[in-house]
Amino acid sequence: MSLIEVKDLAKVYKIPKRQAGMLGALKSIFKKEYTTKTAVRSVSFTISAGEMVGYIGPNGAGKSTTIKMLTGILVPTSGKVLVNGLIPYKERQKNARQIGVVFGQRTQLWWDLPTQDSFELLKQVYQIPTKRYKQNMDTYNEILGLHEFLHIPVRQLSLGQRMRADIAASLLHDPIILFLDEPTIGLDVVAKSKIRKFIREINIERKVTVILTTHDMADIEKLCKRMILIDNGKLMYDGELAKIKEMYGDKRIMVVDLEGDAPLELEQVTVLKEENSRKWLKFDARKLTPAELISKLSQHYEIKDLTIKDQDIEVIIRHLYERKEKR
């Protein structure tokens, strides 16, 4: 049985229309006119318990609107949504107890209180048993290093510290589902690595189902096996990350060190960059396999070293958008 079920989900906003000037403002009081904006268009998917899914798309694609309907913040215009058997907007309190939510641009912590006090308040809000609260705090402290800033007011935390605190806060009440919206936005490499490691651990060890929205495709590549791609409110792709790479990641990059500085000219190969004897070669793996390219190179050049890279998922996603726009 699916933990999350979404069927033909849609959200249409009515936006008041106002004419310019004082006369227009007066007219709008007595006769309201509206325009409509469709944020989500007949989206359907299911997510099983324990999955970690990347839910991605460009700005304005409908990602946040979907997440808000799943968390019960927004009421769908039409369609069906069930989260562990609950209709989120009808049973908001029950739903809130089974989910955790982190928005990278906002915080659920109390701005002027020490971080520890925010955790204590959440303990009371969710009525977490003292023993379980202590166990969770000890676990999250060990992995996320919360002890470094527990007594510092939230407003004085660095972005990386606040994100660690927010993720810990969202998990204090043992939710079975965690919604993460841009959890690594603006963080340095070290902070990103810590947060990704923690997300992976709670997914594997505690079987927490994770829905991750982000613009950082490295988050998706390092954490998710499955990706749901949305654009302009419509579902564009739902499947394994490896599959989309296989379908659209036909371009490969070979970085090769050759003996000497002889110019390189080969059919079906584009030289992207050269630095002395090191060259970056782009080729289509469907037309020329890596083994065939190596064989061709070795016939004319002495190869000192080489590596082959798959095309970045970010480039693949961009190509998908470009193909859609051309249709």
In this prediction, residue 178 carries a pLDDT of: 96
How open is the CA angle 67-50-72, to the nearest 5 degrees? 25
Tell me the CATH class for 250-310.
Answer: alpha beta
Beta strands in the chain (DSSP E): 4-17, 33-47, 52-56, 78-83, 99-103, 177-181, 209-213, 226-231, 234-240, 251-258, 269-275, 278-284, 303-310
- Phi, psi for 202 (deg, rounded to 5): -70, -30
DSSP 3-state of 46: strand
In this prediction, residue 228 carries a pLDDT of: 94
Task: Please give the Cα distance from 99 to 84 (Å, whole number).
Answer: 10
Task: Please give the Cα distance from 150 to 306 (Å, whole number).
Answer: 48
Give, rounded to a whole angstrom, the gap between the first and last alpha carbons of the chain.
37
Q: How far are the Cα atoms of 247, 256, 259, 307 from residue 281, in angstroms, in the given order?
A: 21, 8, 16, 10
On whether the 4-8+47-245 domain is CATH 3.40.50.1820, my answer is: no
DSSP 3-state of 170: helix
Contacts of 216 (CB under 8 A, 6+ apart): 182, 184, 185, 192
Task: Please give the Cα distance from 288 to 279 (Å, whole number).
Answer: 18
Binned average pLDDT, 10 residues per bin, the chain of 327 residues: 93 81 69 84 96 90 92 95 96 94 85 95 95 95 90 92 93 95 83 90 94 87 91 90 72 80 74 82 80 84 81 66 57
- Where do the structural domains in the chain lie, given as residue ranges? 4-8+47-245, 250-310
Pairing of strands 4-17, 78-83: antiparallel
In this prediction, residue 53 carries a pLDDT of: 96
In this prediction, residue 270 carries a pLDDT of: 83
* 96 backbone φψ class: left, alpha, beta (φ>0; ψ -120 to 50): alpha
Nearest residue to 41 via CA among 213, 232, 320: 232
Contacts of 67 (CB under 8 A, 6+ apart): 55, 101, 179, 181, 211, 213
In this prediction, residue 265 carries a pLDDT of: 74
